[in-house]
Amino acid sequence: MSGLGGLNKTTGGIVIAAVQSQLFSVTTPSDLSKATHHVCDLVRQTKRAYPCTDLILFPEYCIHGLSMSTSPSLMCTLDGPEIAAFKAVCKEQAVWGVFSIMEKNELGNPWNAGVTINDAGEIADYYRKMHPWVPVEPWYPGNRGVSAFTGPGGVKMSLIICHDGMFPEMAREAAYRGAEVLLRTAGYTSPIKSSWEITNRSNAFCNLMYTVSVALAGTDGTFRSMGQAMFVHPEGHVLEQGDGTPDAIVVCEIRVEEVRRRRREWGVENNLFQFGHRGFVAVREGAQDCPYMYMKDLVKGEYKQQEDAEVAVRDGKSCGFEKPKQDFVSEME
């Protein structure tokens, strides 16, 4: 099923490489440049080792490390040298790549952004992390929603970042937008290992999609990231899985008809369809109302859990960040 770990590609399949790139300490522009060159070299290494590779997935923080610095000198732009280097290497190697940047933001704190570049060296998708890992991360919450794009081989994909994957609504939104493969990048450290596997597997099964996920690996002298690249089949079983080895390349062939057939033909557990067609055996086309209070309250701007008044951590002060002064600005219609 995995094409001998991505060594082979069959008709209708695509090969994805998830690279557990080394965690670096990045505190200067020179460090940022070195990390960028390292990632580009890993693109070349992946294509040498696995010539069939169609897309290479790099972790969140692959060039920034885990300092959580918001220094303007370390922030990237879409027309900056880091993205230019990624475009060039993808075109050179004729491969798609998914990369992570911390990006300048005119609204306030930087964005945590994921950029997908196609094999012609062009930006195919741009995503801003919706759910920063509070209170640890200072990033402005993504204001463009969940995106879906057509990747190599005509496969519909969506990218989410790290903590996003802990919210089942994120995977469901990606699937609802047509995604057949959910890509998830992370900088997670070892304490998250168990919930990482649980959510990668549940996101796959609950939406009949592949999930392909990868975190940084190794240590920067302070933090130790977990690696743990993972490919999960639409029925929730793990096809390939990495460990904690820095710069390890974990590769797998996926066959998207495994998603398409299930979504079209399944009755039992065809949950993406059945979510909006409850009880179709009893009522024509099933109930298509919204029976969920939290969804209705969220739309009205009135989301409040039962323990809301008792929640203790409501800003980033415990992690050394000042109380925010900015209001959220959305680009959603």
Q: What is the pLDDT along the chain (333 residues), one digit of tens a residue?
A: 567 778 889 999 999 999 999 999 999 999 999 999 999 999 999 999 999 999 999 999 999 999 999 999 999 999 999 999 999 999 999 999 999 999 999 999 999 999 999 999 999 999 999 999 999 999 999 999 999 999 999 999 999 999 999 999 999 999 999 999 999 999 999 899 999 999 999 999 999 999 999 999 999 999 999 999 999 999 999 999 999 999 999 999 999 999 999 999 999 999 999 999 999 999 999 999 999 999 999 999 999 999 999 999 999 999 999 999 989 999 986
Picking from 214, 224, 129, the residue whose alpha carbon sits closest to that of residue 167 is: 129
Whether 333 sits among the annotated catalytic residues: the reply is: no
**Cα dihedral sign, 64-66-71-72:** positive
In sequence order, which residues have a C-beta less than 8 Å from that of residue 326 and are 6 or more positions away? 107, 108, 109, 140
Report how far residue 27's alpha carbon sits from residue 22's, in angstroms, rounded to the nearest whole number: 15
Cis peptide before 135 (omega within 30 of 0): yes
Task: Please tell me what DSSP assigns to residue 120.
Answer: T
| DSSP H or E run through 274 | helix 271-274
Q: pTM of whole model > 0.85?
A: yes
Please return the burial class of 266, using the count of CB atoms within 10 Å of its CB with bins 0-12, 13-18 and 19+. Answer: middle
Write out the CATH class of domain 3-268: alpha beta
Question: Which residue out of 60, 82, 103, 180 is catalytically annotated?
Answer: 60
Question: Which residue out of 40, 129, 156, 173 is catalytically annotated?
Answer: 129
* Strand 181-186 relative to strand 210-215, pairing: parallel
Whether 129 sits among the annotated catalytic residues: the reply is: yes
Residue 193: alpha-carbon gap to chain centroid? 16
Question: Which residue out of 40, 76, 90, 162 is catalytically annotated?
Answer: 162
Whether 60 sits among the annotated catalytic residues: the reply is: yes
